[in-house]
Amino acid sequence: MPNEERGSWSDFVRNWELFYRYGGATKVDTYRSVADKPYDRERRRESRKSLTYPPVEFSGVQAREVGLAFADKAQRANYSIHACAIMRNHVHLVIGRHRYDFLQIANLLKGAATTRLTQRNLHPLQQCRTPRGTIPSPWAHRCWVVFLDSEVDVRRAVKYVEDNPEKEGKKRQVWSCVVPYPAR
């Protein structure tokens, strides 16, 4: 949520009802996750009712298709994805250096996944057409970015992503798009 009390990377709340009832964007200035900070769960649940579209929650089938789309795109574009966790309401990736900007890679991966979900009638918002008849994106407009400046940072991030499913009580994930980070 852009006005999440724990903070977010949003700098604007696009939904006026959400803005008036729950306040402006709560920009954070940290690159560390704020997911463990305490927050008012009831306030968050109530604020979600103001969203234009229902929150996206990927089913197992949808997550599998997202992973296959990531793998296909990564293989065709020669991206190195060193870790991937596709959760019910978000995705974690550790992407290696590439000639393209990481935001461009993230957008291309999200686009590939959206196309695949749409082609297979699995798009989580396919029942929520816009007035022009288009299906809204299931992805946030931007993404949380952490720059990894050393081998230690990359290995820590890979471990974090690999361990993430277990935090939700799920099994570790293995995706064909992942190439191990090179040992030194």
pLDDT in tens, 80-113: 999 999 999 889 999 998 888 888 999 999 999 9
Report the distance separating Cα 147 and Cα 94, nearest Å: 10
Residues 146, 72, single domain; the answer is yes
* Residues near 55 by beta carbon (within 8 Å), at least 6 away in sequence: 48, 89
In the listed set 13, 35, 52, which residue is the last one of a domain according to the structure?
A: 52
How many residues would you count in the chain? 184
**Residue 137 located in a structural domain:** yes
Q: Are residues 34 and 70 in the same domain?
A: no
80, part of any domain? yes
Total number of domains in the chain: 2
Query: What pTM, to 2 d.p., does this model score?
Result: 0.78
Per-residue model confidence (pLDDT) at position 13: 47
For residues 64 and 139, membership in a common domain is answered with yes
For residue 162, what are the domain limits?
60-167
Q: Does the residue 95 lie in any domain? A: yes
**Over the stretch 161-175, which tens digit does the pLDDT of each residue have?**
999 999 889 999 999
Structure tokens at 114: 């959206």
1: Cα separation from own chain's centroid:
13
